[in-house]
Amino acid sequence: MRHTATTFWRGVALLTIMTTAAPAMPTSPSQRAQVFAVCAGRMDALATHKTAMRDAEAGRLRAQADDFDLLLDASLPDALNYGVPPELPRQWRAQGWIEIAGHLADSAYSFDPGLAERSEQWMDRKVADCQDMLLS
């Protein structure tokens, strides 16, 4: 009976993983460009932080930021033809950077341990959402 229960719970875990996989890729050109720009900013901010901390993960994060910049460059002509103002992708990228920088600051300097923990969890989730879009 124990083997059957273990198999059952492994199946439940697999189903949960499959249903909570990365969100679907946006369909409009402007949404795709926004996702790529925001993720590029997030990954760049985190790579900069990891570089300052002399963390070995910095190089991988920098490469992922570069990948998102390439995806943004590839999707930008369609987004511009779709009506996205030319300056908006740069603002989206900055938004991603600011999100991560804010959460890094909260997790490192907040006097509220709950806020620090929530910021760390939010940041981990948003970075994972971006990383799930890349083939690694």
- Residue 32, number of CB atoms within 10 A of its CB: 20
Structure tokens given for 41: 């900013």
For residue 24, the SS3 value is coil
CA–CA distance, 25 with 71 (Å, rounded to integer): 12
Domain boundaries of the chain, sorted by first residue: 26-131
Global pTM value: 0.81
Structure tokens given for 11: 């199946």
Q: How far is CA 135 from CA 68, 128, 131, 132, in A?
A: 11, 13, 8, 8
Q: Express each pLDDT in 9-66 by its tens digit.
A: 444 333 343 334 455 677 899 999 999 999 999 999 999 999 999 999 999 999 999 9
For residue 8, the SS3 value is helix
For residue 8, what pLDDT band results from cuts at 50, 70 and 90? very low
Looking at residue 14, its pLDDT comes to 36
Quick one: which of 46, 44, 35, 22 has its CA closest to 74?
35
- Total number of residues shown for the chain: 136
